[in-house]
């Protein structure tokens, strides 16, 4: 037996790699979420939607977008935690999700900074269109 095959068998035995014979360890157990909890989360999401609409009517100026984004982040957290069952999932999946969102935020920040650099050129082109 080759060294690769023995390492593979070791990984299968440790549960790191799934074997191809269909055996399962049933590590992921289903959980039942009560209707009351889901209804409470739905009520929170509806209240936050009303808050978003109310904030848009307050005419807060530049602060309105930050308040609306904060409410949207809280609503997204409720959806991910309860409707996508991340609350009952492993910590690893939570770390992966948060890390992914962090990288998306970083990429968007770099894009917005770059947009500020070439915005004067775009504005000049809009004012004076090409012949």
Per the structure, the count of domains in the chain is 1
Per-residue burial over 39-64, b = 16 or more CB atoms within 10 Å of its CB, e = otherwise: eebeeebeeeeeebeebeeeeeeeee
Model confidence at 100, pLDDT cuts 50, 70, 90, reads: very high
44 assigned to some structural domain: yes
The whole-angstrom separation of Cα 121 and Cα 36 is 55
**Residue-wise pLDDT tens digits, 8-60:** 677 666 665 555 555 555 566 666 788 999 999 999 999 999 999 998 888 88
Question: Residues of the chain with pLDDT > 70: what percent?
Answer: 77
Domain range for 79: 33-95
121 assigned to some structural domain: no
Q: How far is CA 54 from the centre of its chain?
A: 25
């Amino acid at each position: 037996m080759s060294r690769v095959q023995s390492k593979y068998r070791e990984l299968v035995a440790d549960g790191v790699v799934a074997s191809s014979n269909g055996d399962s360890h049933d590590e992921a157990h289903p959980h039942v979420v009560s209707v009351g909890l889901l209804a409470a989360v739905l009520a929170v999401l509806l209240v936050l939607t009303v808050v978003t609409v109310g904030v848009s009517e307050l005419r807060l100026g530049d602060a309105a977008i930050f308040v609306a984004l904060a409410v949207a982040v809280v609503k997204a957290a409720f959806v991910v935690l309860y409707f996508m069952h991340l609350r009952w999932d492993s910590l690893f999946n939570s770390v992966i999700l948060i890390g992914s969102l962090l990288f998306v935020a970083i990429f968007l920040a770099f894009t917005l900074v770059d947009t500020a650099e070439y915005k004067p050129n775009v504005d000049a082109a809009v004012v004076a269109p090409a012949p």
